[in-house]
Amino acid sequence: MTEIRDTRIAFIGSGKVASELALIFQFKGLHISGISSRNTTTGKSLAQKLNCPFEENPLLLEADLIIVATNDASVMDLHALFDSKQLFAYTAGAVDLGKLSGVNWGVFYPLQTFTSNRHLGIDEIPVLIEAKDPKLQHLLSELCDYVGFRYAYCSTADRQKYHLAAVFINNFVNHLIYQAQVQVKEAKLSWELLTPLLEETIAKLDDFTAHEAQTGPARRMDQTTIETHQNLLPPKDRDIYALMTKSIQKTYENE
């Protein structure tokens, strides 16, 4: 096996995950040998930042390892396109490795949210890896060790559960914050007065479980306040409030 520093690594995809990982790899001195992307605009832009070739046709990439940082459906499409000799690792959280034939495919799943023009520290990006072939698994763990990523070996079943939990933690929570921002803006109130509450909500999870930290009218079964809130909401948003309230009340109904 080629030394990790000399390993040619290419990326398929030019979105937030591909961009962040590729830039981190290059910063750490790894050899990025090419970028391929269906979006030629972002693909060429990323290739230019990395000073590497852009290949519109992914079959023209020359690499020892290709990181597939695309959506789930594209992973399956690319699996059907390439021959069995090329080594791959995909970043998708929900794709079942068992459904991909051959031993040359693995998983390199960064358990983190990525945002354009916002860069994370290496210690903020844990990676879940999986591979059928022990040599590929070793390559992926060696890559993590070299870059400095914290990593864990993880089966598809457990990775999919991590991915589900991540949707609750990140995507759903973010959407609830968006809903709060809309309410505050429409009422011409100050969002800045709420940011300390948001920060403390997250910070206290260092000391308590979420179950222990729960407060509010649903936890204390305060039906009068709940009805007041429901009346303040537009009809389209009442279902979210009612669903969250019911879930909290169910959680603490025996206390």
Residue 2's pLDDT band (cuts 50, 70, 90):
low
Residue 1's pLDDT band (cuts 50, 70, 90):
very low
Q: Give the model's pLDDT for residue 178.
A: 97
> For tokens 């096996």, what's the residue?
1
| pTM of the predicted protein model | 0.92
Q: Give the model's pLDDT for residue 167.
A: 97
What residue ranges do the domains of the chain occupy? 4-154, 160-251
Q: Give the model's pLDDT for residue 3.
A: 81
pLDDT digits (tens, 9 = 90+) for 177-186: 999 999 999 9
Residue 117's pLDDT band (cuts 50, 70, 90):
confident
Q: How far apart are CA 171 and CA 224, in angstroms?
A: 30
Q: How far apart are CA 99 and CA 157, in angstroms?
A: 12
Judge contact between 82 and 90, C-beta under 8 A: no
CA dihedral 217, 218, 223, 229 (to 10 degrees): 70
pLDDT digits (tens, 9 = 90+) for 39-93: 999 999 999 999 999 999 999 999 999 999 998 889 988 988 887 789 999 999 9
CATH topology agreement for domains 4-154 and 160-251 = no
Q: How many other C-beta atoms lie within 10 A of the C-beta of residue 196?
A: 10
Residue 129's pLDDT band (cuts 50, 70, 90):
very high
CATH class of 160-251: mainly alpha
Query: Which amino acid belongs to residue 113?
Result: T
Task: Check if CATH label 1.10.1450.10 holds for domain 4-154.
Answer: no
